Amino acid sequence: MDATSGVPDEESPEVTQEMMDRGTVTFRGIVIRGPRKTGRPLGSGKKESIHVMFDKDIVAYYRASGPGWQTRMNAALRASMPKRIGSAKRLAVARTKRPLTAGKRTASR
């Protein structure tokens, strides 16, 4: 065993930049992993987290359908969008139009 400080030997192999990038070190055939990253995994970058209020019965309906209810709700919203509109144009249209309503109210006089 070499007692010289900072010099790799059989007991303490040199740690390379590649090992640091991977977060693993192999020593005598044993893989030693670095600390695990905590938290949720990174998403695809195609979704945005927002705060939205829905009617209780709508949320109850989707939640009752089981795991994946938010994905199904997203699919239903996507299905209601106009077809064949590019994403940039779709965003521009969404910003200029008034929100959709459940139905038209007519004045009865």
Average pLDDT over residues 7-29: 70
Q: Which residues pair with 30 in a beta bridge?
A: 27
Domain boundaries, the chain: 8-34, 65-95
- Per residue in 76-105, pLDDT (tens digit) is 999 998 877 655 555 666 666 555 555 555
Averaged confidence pLDDT in the chain: 74
Residue 20 CA to residue 40 CA, distance in Å, equals 22
Confidence of residue 18 (pLDDT cuts 50, 70, 90): confident
Tokens of 6: 């900072």
Helices assigned H by DSSP within 23-107: 56-64, 69-79, 87-96
Task: Yes or no: say if 9 and 3 are a contact pair by the CB < 8 Å rule.
Answer: no
- The tokens describing 83, both together, are 């077809």
Q: Which residue has the higher pLDDT, 72 or 4?
A: 72
DSSP designation for 101: -
The pLDDT score that the predictor gives to residue 4 is: 62
